[in-house]
DNA sequence: CCATTTTTGATGTACGTAAATCAGATTTTT
DNA sequence: AAAAATCTGATTTACGTACATCAAAAATGG
């Protein structure tokens, strides 16, 4: 049987009340006594029964999820996953609330974070906009002892406890290698469609992509990045334009959202030329395009996993428990026609 | 607040004891009363607090993991993951025991399963050998009300509750498309190295591989399958032999274990020819080979995820709870040089 | 309609922990 | 050495469920 608080009390030769004071860092225990109890805890290998503890506390973890109010398919999917978690929340003793903030607006995000310092939830998850004011606001929360995890996009130099998202440099590198290999030894131009170079994940993907292209596929040259602001219409216009002007384009890498517009542009031009295309994020549109051959591969991060992982990590931090690292690593999914879920 | 048993009692106008009798299907409740209680449960949306219930029961889930005593890297990895789960088991109120049975031996496996009918663990996970006697033994366990999940390799036509493993047909198809695309339009022969055609996962991978090759890459022809019995030495010999005899080979698909031998053979021959190689299972050996260019892509199933998923599902079944399907889907990982974990 | 069986209610204990109260024992300060 | 402050112990209640016991009520059989 697992040792209980009673066993600690017996082993340390103190009363249950004292053990409780030590375990829950309540005041009123002399230093020597505290040490004695802590030794006993270590020696008999006591671990708190979290289920029983939460039952006793009547505790519910109140978490806040901050998501950008942006309306591309990926963010909709992320929102849906958070909602699914909310639906499950009573069963898991969690009380999850979402907070929408304007996309790409560091000031609004920082303000929202500061509001939470007063509310003091048991944990905060956010899709970070990579700016100093956001970093500082996050660090203030962390200093206040509130667990914080970033989701999808990380925050440079902050003290957030965890990042639930993919390695975007690796994602860009992978895209480059896939594109390069799929193109065989062909020479030509590669167009890159991004949302905005102001978001860290897009910057990193491009960085990885460019690095591998330069190292390994000298026959392919990257054209200046097209910034479509994750907007389908804008993406459509810009990509159509590029394809008309440059007929040396043989490959496309779409590293952000707004793929609906990209796909439309590709279909319009596909009559007279064959392009190899790698895109990010599996949505209804990209899935269809993959199946009909318009897109050759999709790189994806599973929003559901990210949300569940973020919640697990927040819970563990709130309980002072450790996490299984391998379990929380968010993987980069590569989808071809054949392995779609 | 979540409704409790007291709320049911109040809503149904019966006593706590009666509610308890209904909830735990104890005898001594009239049919009409039982219905009344069940209606109340549904209406107020009661869900049992599993943590409290287990605390009250003092319950620990005793699970048995049946793994084949085969000594390739993948099975070692699987074993290590089971051991890691065992190490965590006290914290999670589980008591996991492993049972080794000879590999590829349906009779031994069926016998082991039948032993468990007497022991009656709270759940059984097994790496299935696909044979009728194993299927029947599994079905007997299921009939006895014991949750059973298959791991890595599934069992045709059985009533197991869940399969924690990848879709092997999709894996084979994906391998074919990757190999085909990587080879550009080149024409030539493709060698396939398998463990044994008696295991379902290997059969299915080949099936998927052959299908896509035939449909989409008519320029590539598949040579008769080499069965290396997942043994490095045997694989080395057979592959070396094949490469010497047929110089039309431009691609290799290794769908089983024993890659150590394959890699050795490839390195010996690589001086005079360039091969495109797709292999299964990420191990130290295949990882090194991927990094040095001997292998071009690795398809992988994460043994840790499979083990944890199997345990989660067994627990849920034992508690009569539902599982999050998306969470339990085991994904096929595709690793290139750039996205190795 | 009484005896018997079946169904229901009332109540208590247990699981492992949290949290509170109050009394008693130490220490520290004056 | 007395007063005050600080520590420690003993005990109790609670969380939501499981499970057992005994008494009371209702339904059933003859």
A17 CA, D15 C1': Å apart: 18
* Residue B272: band (very low, low, confident or very high) from pLDDT cuts 50, 70, 90: low
- Category of A256 on φ-ψ map: left (φ > 0), alpha (ψ -120 to 50) or beta: beta
* Inter-residue contact A175 to A256 (CB < 8 Å): no
* Inter-residue contact B67 to B315 (CB < 8 Å): no
Do the domain assignments include residue A53?
Answer: no
Regarding whether B18 and B125 lie in a shared domain, the answer is no
Number of domains comprising chain B: 3
- Round to whole Å and give the CA distance between B203 and B195: 10
A197-224 pLDDT per residue, tens: 878 899 999 999 999 999 999 999 999 9
* Inter-residue contact A311 to A63 (CB < 8 Å): yes
Regarding whether B293 and B177 lie in a shared domain, the answer is yes
Regarding whether B296 and B176 lie in a shared domain, the answer is yes
Strands B297-300 and B61-68: unpaired
Do the domain assignments include residue B148?
Answer: yes
A126-180 pLDDT per residue, tens: 999 899 999 999 999 999 999 999 999 999 899 999 999 999 999 999 999 999 9
- The whole-number pLDDT of residue A147 equals 95
Regarding whether B214 and B293 lie in a shared domain, the answer is yes
Q: Which of A316, A311, A308 is nearest to A94 (CA)?
A: A311
B216-266 pLDDT per residue, tens: 999 999 999 999 888 889 999 999 999 999 989 999 999 988 899 999 999
Average pLDDT, chain B: 92
A-proximal residues of B, 45-104, CB under 8 Å: 47, 49, 51-52, 54-55, 88, 90-91, 93
A276-315 pLDDT per residue, tens: 999 999 999 999 999 999 999 999 999 999 999 999 999 9
Interval B295-307 mean pLDDT: 96
A219-251 pLDDT per residue, tens: 999 999 999 888 889 999 999 999 999 989 999
Regarding whether B181 and B72 lie in a shared domain, the answer is no
Whether CB of A16 is under 7 Å from strand C: the answer is yes
Do the domain assignments include residue B336?
Answer: no
* Token couple for B192: 């396939």
Reported as half-sphere exposure (CB side, CA atoms, 13 A), residue A53 has a value of: 14
- The whole-number pLDDT of residue B271 equals 64
Do the domain assignments include residue B52?
Answer: no
- Round to whole Å and give the CA distance between A51 and B111: 37
- The whole-number pLDDT of residue A272 equals 63
A129: exposed, middle or buried (Cβ count in 10 Å: 0-12, 13-18, 19+): buried
- The whole-number pLDDT of residue B149 equals 97
Interval A320-340 mean pLDDT: 92
Concatenated DSSP letters for A220-232?
A: EEEPPPEE-TT-H
Residue A192 has pLDDT above 70, yes or no: yes
- Round to whole Å and give the CA distance between A103 and A133: 15
Regarding whether B173 and B66 lie in a shared domain, the answer is no
Q: 3-class SS at B76?
A: helix
Nucleotides of D under 7 A from a protein CB: 6-12, 14-21
Q: 3-class SS at B134?
A: helix
Do the domain assignments include residue A339?
Answer: no
- The whole-number pLDDT of residue B50 equals 87
Regarding whether B71 and B101 lie in a shared domain, the answer is yes
Whether CB of B270 is under 7 Å from strand C: the answer is no
B31-67 pLDDT per residue, tens: 999 999 999 999 999 999 988 998 998 888 899 999 9
Q: Which of B91, A163, B119, B245 is nearest to B99 (CA)?
A: B119
Whether CB of B23 is under 7 Å from strand D: the answer is yes
Nearest CA in chain B to A56: B52
Q: What is the CATH number of the domain that holds A83?
A: 3.40.50.2300
The phi and psi torsions of B94 (rounded to 5 degrees) equal -120, 155
Regarding whether A312 and A248 lie in a shared domain, the answer is no
- The whole-number pLDDT of residue A28 equals 85
Percent pLDDT > 70 in chain A is 99
**Chain A hits for B300, Cβ within 8 Å:** none
Regarding whether B65 and B115 lie in a shared domain, the answer is yes
Regarding whether A229 and A142 lie in a shared domain, the answer is no
CA B328 to chain centre: 11
Do the domain assignments include residue B131?
Answer: yes
Whether A304 sits inside 8 A of B296 (CB atoms) is no
- The whole-number pLDDT of residue A221 equals 96
Regarding whether A318 and A251 lie in a shared domain, the answer is no
Q: What is the CATH number of the domain that holds B38?
A: 1.10.260.40
Do the domain assignments include residue B312?
Answer: yes
Regarding whether B146 and B126 lie in a shared domain, the answer is yes
A11 CA, C18 C1': Å apart: 20
What residue numbers bound the domain in which B104 lies? 57-165+303-330
* Residue A335: band (very low, low, confident or very high) from pLDDT cuts 50, 70, 90: very high
Whether CB of B17 is under 7 Å from strand D: the answer is yes
- The whole-number pLDDT of residue A70 equals 78
- Category of B182 on φ-ψ map: left (φ > 0), alpha (ψ -120 to 50) or beta: alpha
B315 touches chain A (CB under 8 A): no
- Round to whole Å and give the CA distance between B185 and B218: 10
Do the domain assignments include residue B339?
Answer: no
């Amino acid at each position: 049987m697992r040792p209980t608080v009673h066993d600690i009390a017996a082993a340390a030769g103190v009363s249950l009340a004292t053990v409780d004071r030590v375990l829950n860092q309540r005041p009123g225990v002399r230093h020597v006594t505290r040490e004695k109890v802590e030794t006993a805890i270590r020696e008999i290998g006591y671990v708190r029964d979290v289920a029983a503890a939460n039952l006793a506390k009547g505790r519910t973890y109140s978490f806040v999820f901050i998501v950008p109010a942006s309306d591309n398919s990926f963010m909709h999917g992320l929102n849906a996953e958070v909602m699914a978690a909310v639906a499950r929340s009573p069963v898991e003793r969690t009380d999850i609330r979402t907070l929408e903030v304007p996309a790409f607006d560091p000031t609004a995000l920082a303000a929202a974070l500061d509001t939470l310092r007063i509310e003091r939830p048991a944990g905060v998850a956010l899709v970070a906009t990579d700016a100093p004011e956001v970093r500082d606001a996050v660090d203030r929360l962390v200093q206040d002892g509130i667990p914080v995890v970033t989701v999808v996009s990380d925050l440079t130099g902050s003290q957030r406890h965890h990042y639930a998202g993919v390695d975007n440099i690796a994602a860009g590198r992978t895209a480059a290698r896939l594109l390069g290999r799929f193109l065989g030894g062909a020479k030509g131009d590669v167009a890159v469609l991004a949302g905005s170079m102001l978001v860290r994940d897009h910057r990193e993907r491009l960085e990885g992509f460019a690095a591998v292209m330069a190292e390994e596929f000298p026959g392919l040259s990257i054209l200046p990045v097209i910034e479509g602001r994750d907007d389908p219409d804008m993406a459509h216009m810009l990509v159509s334009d590029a394809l008309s002007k440059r007929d040396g384009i043989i490959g496309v890498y779409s590293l952000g959202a707004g793929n609906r517009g990209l796909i439309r542009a590709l279909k319009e031009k596909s009559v007279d030329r064959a392009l190899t295309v790698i895109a990010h994020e599996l949505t209804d549109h990209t899935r269809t395009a993959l199946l009909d051959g318009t897109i050759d591969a999709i790189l994806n991060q599973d929003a559901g996993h990210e949300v569940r992982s973020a919640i697990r990590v927040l819970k563990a931090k709130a309980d002072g428990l450790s996490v299984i690292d391998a379990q929380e690593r968010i993987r980069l999914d590569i989808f071809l026609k054949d392995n779609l879920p």
